[in-house]
Amino acid sequence: MSKTVTTTSEEGFSATNEIRDFETTIDSTGEDAPDTLESLLAAYGSCYVPALRVAGQQRGVDDMGRVEIQTNGELNDDDKLESIQFDIRVEATVDDDTAEDVLDRADQLCKVHDALKSDLHADRSLEGDAF
């Protein structure tokens, strides 16, 4: 199995991506659409949500309820990602030990986490009873 995305740029630094029956635009300048790093951070956070929910179920938190991930990517002097931070808030009540177990398992399940070089894996925190 493979995944295929077709990226097309007619001019400038903006590109349209055809993903199955969907279309997204990414503008590396960030002027007309999210830039490339913002898009990567969004994909990482979006991938982490189902990983977190499944990890919670596997670690005794049957329903996370609302999940909110604020993803922050720190850039180096060359405007490349240097670090990523997830601040995760969930509706469910989760004690500290369970939260750490859930996060460790979510790291194993998240496909984007697996695809990133290890020094860019997100540092993360999880806050229960957040809503």
pLDDT greater than 90 at residue 40: yes
Same domain, 47 and 99: yes
Q: Are residues 54 and 90 in the same domain?
A: yes
User: Rounded to whole angstroms, how far apart are CA atoms 37 and 131?
Assistant: 29
127 bridge partner residues: 89
Task: Say whether both 49 and 111 belong to one domain.
Answer: yes
Q: How confident is the model at residue 91 (pLDDT cuts 50, 70, 90)?
A: very high
Neighbours of 99 (CB within 10 A): 20
Say if residue 55's pLDDT is above 90: yes
41 in the same domain as 2: no
Q: What average pLDDT does range 39-56 have in this prediction?
A: 97
Split at pLDDT 50, 70, 90, the class of 119 is: confident
The alpha carbon torsion through 91, 96, 102, 106 (nearest 10 deg) reads 90
Q: Same domain for 49 and 29?
A: no
SS3 track for 28-43: CCCCCCCCHHHHHHHH
The parent domain of residue 1 ranges over 1-34
Model pTM above 0.85: yes
Q: In this predicted model, which residue has the larger pLDDT, 4 or 121?
A: 4
Residues 44 and 15 both lie in one domain: no
Residues 120, 69, single domain; the answer is yes
